[in-house]
Structure 1
Amino acid sequence: MKEKMIREFVDKFGGERETVETFFAPGRVNLIGEHIDYNGGHVFPCALDFGTYGAVRKRQDNKLRMASLNFDLEVEVDADRLVYDEADDWANYPKGVVKGFLNRGCRVGGMDILYWGNIPNGAGLSSSASLEVLTAVLVNDLFDCGIAPMDLVLLTQEAENSFVGVNCGIMDQFAVCMGRKDSAMLLDCKTLEYSYAPLVLDGIRIVIGNTRKRRGLADSKYNERRSECEYALAKLREVVEIETLCDLDPAAFQAHRHRIDQEAPARRAEHAVWENHRTLEAAAALQAGDLARFGELMNASHRSLRDLYEVTGRELDAMVEEAWKVDGTIGSRMTGAGFGGCTVSLVRAGAVEDFIKTVGENYAAATGLEPEFYVVDVGAGASRI
């Protein structure tokens, strides 16, 4: 892939191949802990072995020229005049990251950058975070900015929040930047403390199912759910001293649930509190090698996202329900923001072929959409290659 990127870069921008630098940032999947990163809870993602590749060369002037093998659009802007422009589409993500470096006093000059990714766009596997973190790692490296990895996570999240205008939590950028091969990561989104858990899946594979129901995060009800959680938090803080919803355990939440005077925010908060509890239990189950319990918690997570948080939709529900029927499925749930995108399932290795065939056929019959499936391995975080 490194050779391919260098060759394509020289075809696009010219110059000597020896002057081209190459980088990679993975996609991510969250095993459990959904819609709680912005509620002060714990998430449990892992990086994947596919993602976004970048080839780059410094320029002598101040121009940023960005192209992608995935899209026809090419963008050229001045590095010292970076503003959001809807016409620049995907290039707003790397523009926002470069702007973040400039805001921190880093001297970033012109670059030619070629991107290529094999994360399905809009599937909910963090193609945007992968693009952002890739850009951050290459800028940090090329211009010797010296920004620590966790600070790169915060910089890229800020770029998506403030520059692009998507009010995402921190999980996606964290998993993409900080991933470790064959490990999942338990992140406390309130304190940013994290630990790694060996993802030893003897005889079990991770299967991601793409519903092919496209969703754009900025266009979804994501921001609406966040505001409902903020409303619930404000009502609860009238009677308990908490900073986030996930400061409450399930018993404490149940004792004060009646203080939330609107049912929709109350259901959103109930999901957040219980999902945090499930995630901590799931991480402990994985450490203990109890994959059966881990699978049960995945299933419970999906039901909560369906019934309490209401972010699944017909397509995700159909795919998960078909997965639950297959002998050999340990657990299955939606992953990502919802409203389309992907499911993640743990499936016994001997049942993977039947899983893909059976779930694929039944899902297509139920929805009229042809799904895609990826049997994935757990990869490392973003780096030079």
Structure 2
Amino acid sequence: MGLLEQHFGSCSGEVRVFFAPGRVNLIGDHTDYSGGYVLPAALDCGTWVAIRQREDGRFRFISTNFDDQVECSAAELAYRTEDGWANYPKGVIWHLRERGVELSGGDLLFHGNIPNGAGLSSSASITMATAFSVRSLTGVDLSLMELIRLSQQVENEYLGVNCGIMDQFAVGMGRSGHGLLLRCKTLDYRYVPLTLGDYRIVIVNSNKRRELAASKYNERRAECEAGFRMIQPHLSEADHLGSVSVDQWREVSRHISSETIRRRLEHVIYENERVLRSTEALESGDPIAFGRYMQESHESLSRLYEVTGTELDVLVEEALRVKGCIGARMTGAGFGGCTVNLVHEAHLDTFCRQVNKRFRERTGRTPAFYCWQTGDGVREIIQGVEACPFW
């Protein structure tokens, strides 16, 4: 008996399967909520959801990754701490109902192979998979962009995490073999070919779990907003921090009264510039330059933005000691989670072996290594659905 039959019984009624990827941010962290530039890529790992419509107004949320199963009525979709992971799909259905999208009930079975709490957007993967599947079942006329915005709204308003839109955008709009240059204020974007030659993207998980809502993420956002209020009167046209150029910053930085806030803004402004230079490097087939920008980004996130911590700093230090590694940086919100590294394919085994050994010696933690490929965005699985993990 497969997991689907185990949880859904005889599976009477149509069962449809959807997939939403995780994402890795190649460069441009903590710039999205200031309206700046980011360069994420969707991965070929992610979240599958099998969904079957019910007619009794009840919802069941089941996951192969968690023991707890949550069941509720449409009137009970409000956030509850004790519902844990299920608050993510609950929040999506709650917000869709607020927009008049009526689903008569449903069984939703989730399976994910994104490490939870690692900073690879497991939450955005769940919310986008849910939103896309409910749209498909109900036939409601909502664009992919509207689903992306709704998924961000779930994080901001339902879950209380003041994240930007990068994660949901990358999960929704990803394209295999490409990064996605996104200007978060305007949502202008273009696909960037990942012309890396013989280099491969390696993600290393520190296995130090991070909780966004419990971290200093919201504090950093508040610091950036406070800093922009200090310099905006001295800027003629800028209406958000992400639009402030390096030259403008040099003129107005003296108006920041707090050294801490000055460091926060300096990271955001120079990080935006690094994202644009990194895009140029990739488009011209220069992975060496791209790797250099990755290193500069991590140093800024550590020294100016102070969101890395011991584990991430050690991972980057040890990665850059290994022959063949030309770039390393934290990825995601920080405070634990993962690094993203650029490693020559001839040195992959040595890289994993040496970083594993040295990281364990210095921190007592055992890291995990992932060589996932880039992938496409959220979609329904039609061909080969029998190969899905829970079928």
TM-score class, shorter-chain normalisation, is: over 0.9
Moved over 4 A (4+): none
1:110-160 Cα shifts (integer Å, max 9, x gaps) = 000110101000111011110110101100111111211111100000011
Q: Aligned partners of 1:18, 1:139: CA distance in 2, in Å? A: 16
Structure 1 CA distance for aligned equivalents of residues 338 and 27 of structure 2:
13
1:50 to 45, 54, 58: 45
Question: 2:27 is paired with a residue of what secondary structure?
Answer: coil
Residue 107 of structure 1 and its aligned partner are, at CA, apart by 1.9
- Equivalence map 1:107-186=2 (5 Å): 107-186=102-181
Is 2:261 aligned against 1:265?
Answer: yes
Write the mapping of 1:174-323 to structure 2, written as runs, cut at 5 A. 174-241=169-236, 242-323=238-319
Q: Which residue of 2 aligns with 1:329?
A: 325
Once the two structures are superposed, residues 292-324 of structure 1 have per-residue CA deviations (whole angstroms, 9 ceiling, x without a partner) of 111000000000000000000000000000111
After superposition, what is the alpha-carbon deviation per residue over 1:159-216, rounded to whole angstroms, capped at 9, x for unaligned?
1110011111100111111111111100100101111011233321110000011111
Secondary structure class of the residue paired with 1:185 = strand
8 Å Cα contact 1:298-1:331 kept in structure 2: yes
Contact 1:271 1:304 in 2 (8 A): yes
SS at match of 1:219: coil
Distance 2:99 2:189 in 1: 25
User: Following the alignment from structure 1 to structure 2, what is the Cα–Cα distance between the partners of residues 203 and 111?
Assistant: 46
Which residue matches 2:387? Answer: none
Please report the TM-score for the alignment, with normalisation by the length of structure 1.
Answer: 0.97
Partners of 1:275 and 1:109 in 2: CA distance: 46
Larger mean CA deviation between 16-25 and 330-339 belongs to: 16-25
Q: Where does residue 82 of structure 2 map in the other structure?
A: 87
Deviates more, 1:328-337 or 1:104-113: 104-113
CA contact (8 A) 1:205 1:376 kept: no
User: Counterparts of 1:93 and 1:229 in 2: how far apart (Å)?
Assistant: 27
Report the residue type matching 1:335 in the other structure: T
Pair 1:66-2:72 in alignment: no
1:56-95 deviation digits (Å, cap 9, x = unpaired): 1000111111110100111111124321100101111111
Aligned to 1:343: 339
Identity score, percent: 49
The one-letter code matched in structure 1 to 2:287 is: L
Measure how far apart 1:16 and its partner are: 3.0
Q: CA deviation at 1:17?
A: 6.4
* Secondary structure, counterpart of 2:41 in structure 1: strand
Residue-pair matches, total: 380
* Deviations 1:245-274 (CA, angstroms, capped at 9, x unpaired): 121111210111010101111100000000
Greater Cα shift, 33-42 or 200-209: 200-209
Q: Does residue 359 in structure 1 map to residue 355 in structure 2?
A: yes
Structure 2: gaps spanning 5 or more residues: 382-391
SS at match of 1:299: helix
Q: What's 1:101 paired with?
A: 96
Partner amino acid, structure 2, of 1:101: L
Report if the CA contact (8 A) 2:206-2:367 is conserved: yes
- What is the alpha-carbon distance in structure 2 between the residues aligned to residue 80 and residue 260 of structure 1? 48
Measured against aligned partners, the alpha-carbon deviations of 1:26-85 in whole angstroms (never above 9, x if no partner) come to: 100000000000011010000001011111100011111111010011111112432110
Aligned partner of residue 44 in structure 1, secondary structure:
strand
Superposition TM-score, scaled by structure 2 size? 0.95
C-alpha separation between the residues in 1 aligned to 2:124 and 2:307? 21
Distance in 2 separating the partners of 1:81 and 1:68: 19
Pair 1:371 & 2:356 matched:
no
